[in-house]
Amino acid sequence: MARTFFVGGNFKLNGNKKSIKEIVERLNGASLAEDVEVVVCPPAAYLDYTVSLVNKKQLSVGAQNTYSKASGAYTGENSVDQVKDLGAKWVILGHSERRTYFHEDDKIVAEKTKFALDNGVGVILCIGETFEEKEAGITLQVVERQLNAVIAEVNDWTNVVIAYEPVWAIGTGLAATADDAQEIHASIRKFLAEKLGADAAEKIRILYGGSANGANCSTFKDKKDVDGFLVGGASLKPEFVDIVNTRK
């Protein structure tokens, strides 16, 4: 089956009203492929503003983080209900920076994923190995462990997009080759088929997210298990349009 190409832009802790307006207006004005879904994820303070700028059917807005409680005494957290109230439709969960800097383990990521899905927000679920894990040859064990935690909590994966992000390639300028990414993505899909069934696994989109940019994105376009990208720094630049149009 044909899976709709998906490109997420993770702005991380970057941007202001001026730069975000430029990014969204560039996307609004660009000739984008019809069969692509684009989600831009600004810092939480700009979610409402970003939603107000979007006027293209392929384009929507996501948060970079949400909590596993709807409301309450959780200073500094983002509520799924409040994110939805602003018009955002997705959230990035399990990003390596959340796992590393904020000590979110597999169980926390799984709980947050379940809560977001149960409350009507799609999840871009990030998985991936460190350089040390890659060198030790345990990439598949790591990503399977990360996925197993979510599988234990989530039955319906319809609104989950998986982003395979090798930690060693994020922000380093290094990147897996398209063939390497295809091999890992195919292994992830095979694992999902074993756990969730072949039909469910075939429908889940698996993105590549290790320093994807305008220069290397075209090398991935014919890889059958690479269904798009989760883009970091390049999502802040004009080349993001080229990444969105990889398969145009």
Question: Which residues form the catalytic set?
Answer: 95, 165
DSSP letter, residue 218: G
Q: If you search the block for the tokens 């190409």, which residue do you land on?
A: 5
Numbers of helices and strands, H then E, in the chain:
10, 8
Do 199 and 242 touch, CB atoms closer than 8 A? no
> CA-to-CA distance for 56 and 51, rounded, in angstroms?
11
DSSP string covering 158-205, please? TTEEEEE--GGGSSSS----HHHHHHHHHHHHHHHHHHH-HHHHHHSE
Do 117 and 160 touch, CB atoms closer than 8 A? yes
Do 203 and 1 touch, CB atoms closer than 8 A? yes
Phi then psi for residue 163, to 5 deg, are -115, 110
